[in-house]
């Protein structure tokens, strides 16, 4: 398909991932206020609560109201997680407790950068290929990318909460393409979700590449590391 006119990447599960688990981080936050909740219980509850929630996209919300809507979205999921796993009564004033949890995920502390990311971004950047992020995330992603040293590599960052559409919806890919200056094809999008990333990108006529870091059945456009996408 030739050298890409632009390369977009997903964020969580592609560039970086949670260090340990969300349950570990929630449990650590609870311990700071003297409450013990097993990380495994919190992780199981979080997975269920997060899976049942819609993606963080808020169509029709005025831009100035989005930060509060993002906060409320995660407040509900986190509250449900602790209600299901235990510890809610011991925490007491959850409204006072939650801000520290929310702020934690805007820092580098809970995230772990994959080792292949920076060398490959540097390689693509050296070839003059414009790079962007497309993620079903909220505004904290800008802070996370800064904290992990990733921001300088990306010309654009497109997030579902600000676009009002989430992958695999075409609107978020279209918004990212416009923000990047409407580069000529071929366009690549790389991510760890077959549905959100690969099928979403292919619906735009882009090359959707499945980054399956745990392995899996070999197939076209499935890689286990970004290093497999080094261009010669």
Mean pLDDT by 10 residues, the chain (232 residues): 90 98 98 97 98 97 98 98 95 97 98 98 97 98 98 98 98 98 97 98 97 86 95 86
List the one residue out of 210, 232, 229, 231 whose CA is nearest residue 219.
210
Say how far apart CA 103 and CA 190 lie, in whole Å: 28
Asked if 188 and 218 count as a contact pair (C-beta separation under 8 A), the reply is no
Say how far apart CA 52 and CA 74 lie, in whole Å: 13
Q: Which residue has the tokens 């080792």?
A: 115
Residues 71-121: tens digit of each pLDDT: 999 999 999 999 999 999 999 999 999 999 999 999 999 999 999 999 999
Say how far apart CA 21 and CA 64 lie, in whole Å: 32
Q: Are strands 207-211 and 16-18 parallel, antiparallel or unpaired?
A: unpaired
Q: Is 45 exposed, middle or buried (0-12, 13-18, 19+ CB in 10 A)?
A: buried
Quote the pLDDT of residue 1.
Answer: 52
Domains and CATH numbers, the chain: 6-17+110-229 (3.40.50.1000), 20-104 (1.10.150.720)
List the one residue out of 2, 1, 4, 15 whose CA is nearest residue 154.
15
């Amino acid at each position: 398909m030739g050298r890409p006119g632009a390369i977009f990447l997903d964020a969580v599960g592609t560039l970086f991932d949670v260090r340990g688990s969300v349950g570990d981080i929630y449990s650590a936050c609870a311990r700071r206020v003297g409450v013990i909740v097993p990380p495994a219980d919190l992780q199981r509850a979080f997975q269920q609560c997060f899976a049942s929630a819609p993606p963080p996209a808020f169509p029709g919300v005025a831009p100035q109201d989005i930060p509060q809507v993002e906060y409320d979205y995660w407040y509900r999921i986190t509250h449900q997680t602790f209600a299901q796993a235990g510890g809610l009564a011991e925490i007491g004033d959850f409204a006072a407790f939650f801000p520290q949890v929310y702020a934690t995920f805007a820092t580098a502390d809970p995230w772990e950068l994959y080792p292949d990311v920076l060398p490959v971004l540097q390689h693509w950047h050296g070839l003059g290929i414009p790079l962007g992020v497309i993620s079903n995330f909220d505004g904290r992603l800008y802070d996370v990318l800064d904290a992990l040293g990733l921001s300088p590599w990306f010309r654009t960052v497109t997030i579902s909460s600000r676009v009002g559409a989430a992958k695999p919806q075409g609107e978020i890919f279209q918004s990212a393409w416009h923000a990047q200056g409407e580069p000529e094809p071929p366009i690549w999008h790389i991510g760890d979700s077959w549905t959100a990333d690969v099928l979403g990108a292919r619906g735009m006529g882009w090359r959707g590449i499945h980054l399956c870091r745990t392995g899996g059945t070999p197939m076209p456009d499935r890689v286990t590391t970004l290093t497999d996408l080094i261009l010669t």
